[in-house]
Structure 1
Amino acid sequence: MRNPRGSTKVALVEDHLLFAESLEIALGMEGYQVRRIPLPARPSSLGAVLASVLRVQPRIVLLDLDLGAHGNGVRLIEPLAKAGIAVVVVTGSLERTRWGECLRYGARTVLTKTSPLNDILATVRRLNDGFPVIDRAVREELIAEWHQNRVENHEARRRLDDLTPREREVLRQLMQGHQVRDIARINVVSEATVRTQVKSILAKLEVSSQLAAVGLAHEAGWRPSDV
């Protein structure tokens, strides 16, 4: 359903000041009621940001994903969508699995911050006029990629959970960039002992190199603090 632009509220949730100001000016010139949601100077919960958005009662929200100390903006998508708000993610991330996650939780589309400003404005116009803003096949493909990635990460976490405490410590040190000889020196053991531990790690993770083991851990979101 087409709405007069002057009655359409558009909220911006963006921690990059210059980018937010550019969007605010451009949307204002198009005739929309634009509200830039201020992010607290100190880190706060995303619940506070969500409450600020809902108070504005926007029809459309342009949402960044990486909100610095305030957390991952993807967590705002579902509650905003359930409130009947059209969420457009505008992000610097090029990870298709993150795009798929956004769409899975209710975002209407995902645009990159390198997109021409006119593309962002055109998306807002189409939403305001009641038109779709992403091809259904593209949407389903991105969601499928996210789901497959989630399954693979779950399996990777299962393998990581099979590591012994000592193997987890060795993997943590590999992730920090240490070589086998460094790990042996730090842990006061022989290089042969560390090589045996590394071999066991590779076998359990079903990878063929230390680099692949580190990559798998990063991809699964495993952090040294998990040790």
Structure 2
Amino acid sequence: MDVTQVLLVDDDAMVRTGLRMVLSADPTLRVVAEATNGRQAVAMVRDMAPEVVLMDLQMPVLDGIAATRELRANGYTHPVLVLTTFQIDTYVVEALRAGANGYLLKDTAPEEIIRAVHVAAAGDSVFSAAITKRLVATIGHPDPTATDDARRRLDRLTDRERDVANAVAAGSSNAVIAADLKMSEATVKSHVSRILAKTGAENRVQIALLVYQVGPA
């Protein structure tokens, strides 16, 4: 039986205990360590290479945004899911830009937390399309330079790749995209890989942010 190793990062001991209890209900998930701040998390990832990191945003020493950015700079490619108390939070937007693969609210139902970890471990991002739209709105009206940059990056895509990018922005999984666009999941994965390479996005959430910034084609 394959077991996914998870690192919990939160300065609140009660939150960590609750998450550990939730994840322990699934025998295919194992919490391998707990960190109380981002600096500890960076060190633990270097030493243990967990397959999923659940990262709080606001912590002492090094916050979740800076820690996520440092993990990506260090070459860590596994999923980082940020945790937040608020549904709308500009910190979440910055975390996604830093390289997080998605986010969970701390009051998410236990079964949804388990599902989210599995989805992330499988290579998909964990985010709600509706909430992502609202998150993008919290940035305010982007400056023209940022919008033009996003448009230039998306203009590098073929029509089919743009269809896939739009579906990613809608929150669809690879399986759903494959069914909707009548292609295999392997083809969807290939398209997503090319979209990431062409746009310079680091993950599916950043693809979604680009699409929402410009608007679907």
Could you say which TM-score interval applies, normalised by the shorter chain?
0.5 to 0.7
CA distance in 2, matches of 1:17, 1:103: 25
Partner residue of 1:39?
A: 36
Of 63, 80, 83, the match for 1:87: 80
CA distance in 1, matches of 2:47, 2:137: 34
CA distance in 2, matches of 1:150, 1:47: 33
Where does 1:166-181 land on structure 2 (aligned, <5 Å)? none
Matched, 1:72 2:63: yes
| Percent identity for Structure 1 against Structure 2 | 25
Unaligned runs of 5+ in 2: 145-217
Query: Relative to 1, partners in 2 of residues 1:48 and 1:127: Cα closer, same or farther, differing over 3 Å?
Result: closer
Deviation at 1:20, TM superposition (A): 0.8
Deviation at 1:64, TM superposition (A): 0.7
Query: Relative to 1, partners in 2 of residues 1:135 and 1:115: Cα closer, same or farther, differing over 3 Å?
Result: closer
Of 42, 49, 55, the match for 1:57: 49
CA distance in 2, matches of 1:27, 1:92: 19
Where does 1:206-225 land on structure 2 (aligned, <5 Å)? none
Where does 1:9-158 land on structure 2 (aligned, <5 Å)? 9-31=5-27, 32-39=29-36, 46-67=38-59, 69-81=60-72, 82-134=75-127, 139=132, 142-143=135-136, 145-146=138-139, 148=141
Unaligned runs of 5+ in 1: 41-45, 152-227
Deviation at 1:133, TM superposition (A): 2.2
Partner residue of 2:158?
A: none
Q: RMSD value over aligned CA atoms?
A: 2.9
Alpha carbons 1:64, 1:91 under 8 Å: kept: yes
> 1:130-161 CA distances to partner (integer Å, 9 max, x unpaired)?
3332356854663463375899xxxxxxxxxx
CA distance in 2, matches of 1:150, 1:72: 27
Instruction: Provide the aligned length of Structure 1 versus Structure 2.
Output: 141
Could you tell me which amino acid in structure 2 is paired with residue 70 of structure 1? V
Largest Rg, 1 or 2: 1
Alpha carbons 1:10, 1:60 under 8 Å: kept: yes
Alpha carbons 2:88, 2:131 under 8 Å: kept: no
CA distance in 1, matches of 2:71, 2:12: 21
Could you tell me which amino acid in structure 1 is paired with residue 6 of structure 2? V
Bigger Cα displacement from structure 2, 111-120 vs 123-132: 123-132
